[in-house]
Chain A
Amino acid sequence: MERKSILRFLIILMFGILLAGLLNLDLLQWAKFRRLSDSNCIRLIAQSGARGNILDRNGEIIVDNRISYDVLILPQELSQIDRILSGVSRILGTGVKELKAAFKSNYFSSSIPVTVASNIDLNKAILLGEYKLEEPSIIIQPMPLRHYPYGPLAAHVIGYVNEIDRWRLTKLEDYGYKTKDIVGFGGVEEKYDYYLRQEEGGLSVEVNHRGKFMRVLGFEPPRNGKDVQLTLDLKMQKIAEESLSGRKGSVILMDPQSGQVLALANYPNFNPAVFVNKRTRLIAGLFNNPDSPLINRAISSSYPPASVFKVVLASAGLELKKINLYTSFLCRGSTMIGARKFSCWDVHGVQDIVSAIAHSCDVFFYKTGLLVGAQNIHDYALKLGLGKALGFELPYETGGFIPSPLWRKINKFQKWFDGDTANLSIGQGDCLVTPLQAANMMAVFANGGYLPSPYIIKAVGNLDLSAKKRKLSRVAFKKSTFEIIRRGLRAVVSDARGTGNVLSGLGVSVAGKTGTAQVSRGATHAWFIGFFPYENPKYVICVFLENGGPGHAASVIARQIIEAMNKQGLI
């Protein structure tokens, strides 16, 4: 070939290479380069909406939001940043050094605005707004923050909000959660986070190579989260917390007809605001406290039910016809079962079912228990909603535990003895229930035969859920069984020697059952579960005091609560 043809061919080849390069960049890798180009010049400035409010049953606010202001800066050349930061520091009155340190530590990438100061008040925000006219790279962002007008009130129901942790992030990534998102921990905040959660909107702005603001490209308004209405009654909740004040335990008020929880108080509690204000030391204190103030004792801890459990024994005995209204046993302060002596807490003499409930006679129920049998006791406990989780809406509910011979054989390879039956009969041994389960069981006797599923969410957004949640299951006991046990429960209060006599003479007729649970260490747990008014029950109450002494102590608190409710005309 001639030299010039080869050269011409080379020229054509050169242009072919250029064309191939163009094809590669413009057509094959177009999307990638367009994205890179956009990320060069487009900055997204997120604006967050407000998290949904949490309301009580009457629409009163329990938790809402207040507006605070954050100052952000679009990253750009260092000399520019220094100038802007010194301007900002003049207005805010904070040192340039602090702002620089904040800029450094919050800097993520050149494409994301950096927060240099947060939580500034309105006046300074307005001043900065004027400075922004000179320096458009400053962004003042309204930032709704959780606000708790009642401090720690209903803290365990509400939960708290904090930056998302790694575990939750891996679980929730697919649902649009991102690092540094504020999410709920515990309580309604966690369980209903998806609804409460605000939707982020934002501005997209164009910047030049120095990160200087050029123009606004688009705006998507942020959306607020949905409000969640609880079944809680703010007044009752306040009464419950005030009455419990300072004593470890929980108080539950519940509507026996529907299963709505009206008040749910625990102590020790916490102030969720410390998480919003990032009070690191106080937060660490909460996590390290041996009394675990973050635990929702009403549903997440289970305790021996003690004499409260005798209601189950009475039901089983009456239903299985092992005892009737006229059956009576003699209490001499103790009884022998096998070779072991099981004692009663007092000497009661001849006891029938009503007086045995009233006086909480152990001997009567030892004997009833032996007649009924352990497996039957277990079955009737389950019929009354014990031993398994209630499916309550708040997270971390525990199911409690009711032992049975079968369980022991399968899991522990041990025999079941009559002594175990006797222990179970008075709610001791391995038997564990949560305060909510105890209250729920009492609801069956209050409403005359329906086991409710307790719930606490009344509505989400504008959607009323109470119709869907109202799920009562029939407990198929004989009418007489309920009548006899109700008489016994009433006698607990009305009988002069009844264990809950302290609750008499209130102007409201109360019925209920006390319990004193022996624990391996420390003082006994105190129980009182009951309902009132006796004739037409509107409320079930459960007072539980962890290591709070005898059942009497719980009854005293129940009395305070009912008195206060009566005074405020809530009954």
Chain B
Amino acid sequence: MRNSFLRILILALVITSLGVLSIYSSTYQKEGAWQDIYKRQMLWAVIGLACFFVMSQLNYRKLWDANYFIYGVALFSLFLVFTLGIIRLGAQRWLKFAWFNFQPSEFAKLAVIIFLARYFSRKSADDISLLSGKFGIFRGIILPFIFVAVPMFLIIEQPDLGSGLMLLLVFVSLLYLTNVRLKYIFTLLFILILPLPFFWHFLHDYQKQRLLVFLNPNIDPLGAGYTVIQSRIAIGSGGLFGRGWLSGTQSQLYFLPESHTDFIFATFSEQWGFLGSSLLLLMYYFIIRQGFIIAQRTQDSFGRLLAYGISLLLALQVFINIAMNMGLAPVVGLPLPLMSYGGSSMLVTFIALGILVNIDRTRSVF
């Protein structure tokens, strides 16, 4: 039990430190406030760590009770963004607080997972069996989908296609883990995929562009394809051992845009090479594996689903972010958990990991 706590803590701390190093390396030559953002990231890491400790002590069953409140707050903050949010990089994703900006979509991801975990682990009052096995198509698929679709719609409208689709992916994979019949899941997938060509017209121009560019980055090497091309160059030029810390020309001479946020993996990989990057992948994998192990040995179905959901959220974000760094996935605005600069993502990730540790700690109680 202490084991999983220490393992996750150490792995998360190492990854976060690598993230701070990478942020420093990509911004230390810029002027003004840029030079200090690695300090802000360290501050966020400290706050995140505090949250991690608090959450690891707080019984996760309290989340069961607070579930509607959490969901409500998430939805409310998304509405706030919709009306009051500040606009940066052409998107309305942030809420301005005293000295920082908060990104509710990060928080909404966790809220939706908690909501879904509770929804699918409700038990029958008669025989204490899981209700989800008896769900028909309405209660198994359509109703939870509505609860996912509302925040998803709000997030996609920000616009933040990546986080929105992330919710959908987590929803589908959680469905798959519950007892809901496969037939229903495939029906849902079918219904979602069928109107995709139709949705094309609802995408923003830049989103269409990104998808086209994903298919062939060279159609617009100086525009939409630029980032992917530069990020591939950054990763590839690292080679086996990398170019060394502070010696990455792609990130430090600013050929790579967003080198401290969405494309921090390329920044890291340029400097540390194949060895460093595969080590980083391995650390992410170990955290996620730890999450799966915790889920498997938890008897409580709410805890189990919650652990699966958190692990899946991490796994999907890591995969999509790194894949898009390497040009294997279209560019969607998704941070790399624990590494990318950004307080909200860091905070939410540490909270999620804290919940994970607490599930493992509490499981013996039941």
Which residues of A are at the interface with B, using a C-beta cutoff of 8 A?
Answer: 3-4, 7-8, 11, 14-15, 17-19, 21-23, 25-27, 29-30, 32-34, 36-38, 40-41, 206-210, 214
Determine whether B52 belongs to the interface, using a CB cutoff of 8 Å to chain A. no
Residues of A contacting B319 in the complex (Cβ-Cβ under 8 angstroms): 14-15, 17-18
Given that A8-B292, A21-B323, A37-B250 are known contacts, is A26 also in contact with B239, CB under 8 Å in the complex? yes
Say whether A37 contacts B237, CB under 8 Å: yes
Residues of B contacting A15 in the complex (Cβ-Cβ under 8 angstroms): 281, 284-285, 319
Q: Give B265 Cβ to nearest chain A Cβ, in Å.
A: 10
Say whether B328 contacts A27, CB under 8 Å: no
Say whether B296 contacts A4, CB under 8 Å: yes
Q: Which of A3, A4, A37, A214 contacts B233 (CB 8 A)?
A: A37
Determine the distance from Cα of A333 to Cα of B173 in the docked complex, in whole angstroms.
Answer: 121
Determine whether B236 belongs to the interface, using a CB cutoff of 8 Å to chain A. yes
Within 8 A of A (CB), among B271-296: 273-274, 277-278, 281, 284-285, 288, 292, 295-296
Residues of B contacting A30 in the complex (Cβ-Cβ under 8 angstroms): 236-237, 239-240
Say whether B240 contacts A26, CB under 8 Å: yes
Q: Give B177 Cβ to nearest chain A Cβ, in Å.
A: 6
Say whether B236 contacts A26, CB under 8 Å: yes
Given that A18-B281, A18-B323 are known contacts, is A3 also in contact with B176, CB under 8 Å in the complex? yes
Say whether B177 contacts A4, CB under 8 Å: yes
Say whether A22 contacts B326, CB under 8 Å: yes
Within 8 A of A (CB), among B217-276: 230, 232-240, 249-250, 253-255, 269-270, 273-274
Q: Give A43 Cβ to nearest chain B Cβ, in Å.
A: 12
Residues of B contacting A25 in the complex (Cβ-Cβ under 8 angstroms): 232, 235-236, 326
Query: How many of chain B's residues have a CB under 8 angstroms from any CB in A?
Result: 39
Closest to A15 in B: B285
Determine whether B315 belongs to the interface, using a CB cutoff of 8 Å to chain A. yes
Q: Which of A14, A19, A32 contacts B236 (CB 8 A)?
A: A32
Say whether A209 contacts B232, CB under 8 Å: no
Mask for B287-326, Cβ within 8 A of A = 1, else 0?
A: 0100010011000000000001000100100010011001
What secondary structure prevails in chain A residues at the interface with B?
A: helix
Q: Give A209 Cβ to nearest chain B Cβ, in Å.
A: 4
Say whether B249 contacts A11, CB under 8 Å: no
Say whether B328 contacts A21, CB under 8 Å: yes
Q: Give B68 Cβ to nearest chain A Cβ, in Å.
A: 28
Closest to B266 in A: A25
Residues of A contacting B273 in the complex (Cβ-Cβ under 8 angstroms): 26
Say whether B328 contacts A40, CB under 8 Å: no
Q: Which of A11, A27, A40 contacts B255 (CB 8 A)?
A: A40
Interface centre among A22, A27, A41 (most CB of B within 10 A): A22
Say whether A17 contacts B328, CB under 8 Å: yes
Determine the distance from Cα of A209 to Cα of B234 in the docked complex, in whole angstroms.
Answer: 13
Determine the distance from Cα of A17 to Cα of B249 in the docked complex, in whole angstroms.
Answer: 27
Q: List 8 A-B contacts (CB under 8 A).
A: A7-B176, A17-B328, A18-B281, A30-B236, A30-B240, A33-B232, A33-B237, A41-B253
Residues of A contacting B234 in the complex (Cβ-Cβ under 8 angstroms): 37
Say whether B269 contacts A7, CB under 8 Å: no
Say whether A209 contacts B177, CB under 8 Å: no
Given that A15-B281, A15-B285, A41-B255 are known contacts, is A7 also in contact with B177, CB under 8 Å in the complex? yes
Given that A3-B177, A7-B176 are known contacts, is A29 also in contact with B250, CB under 8 Å in the complex? no
Determine the distance from Cα of A27 to Cα of B254 in the docked complex, in whole angstroms.
Answer: 24
Residues of B contacting A29 in the complex (Cβ-Cβ under 8 angstroms): 236
Say whether A22 contacts B274, CB under 8 Å: yes
Say whether A18 contacts B326, CB under 8 Å: yes
Q: Across chains A and B, which 3 residue pairs bring their CB atoms closest together, nearest first?
A: A33-B236, A37-B237, A26-B274
Residues of B contacting A23 in the complex (Cβ-Cβ under 8 angstroms): 274
Say whether B240 contacts A14, CB under 8 Å: no
Q: Give B239 Cβ to nearest chain A Cβ, in Å.
A: 4
Say whether A26 contacts B277, CB under 8 Å: yes
Q: Give A515 Cβ to nearest chain B Cβ, in Å.
A: 71
Q: Give B322 Cβ to nearest chain A Cβ, in Å.
A: 5
Q: Which of B253, B269, B284, B292 contacts A26 (CB 8 A)?
A: B269
Determine the distance from Cα of A17 to Cα of B250 in the docked complex, in whole angstroms.
Answer: 24
Residues of B contacting A22 in the complex (Cβ-Cβ under 8 angstroms): 235, 269, 274, 277-278, 281, 326
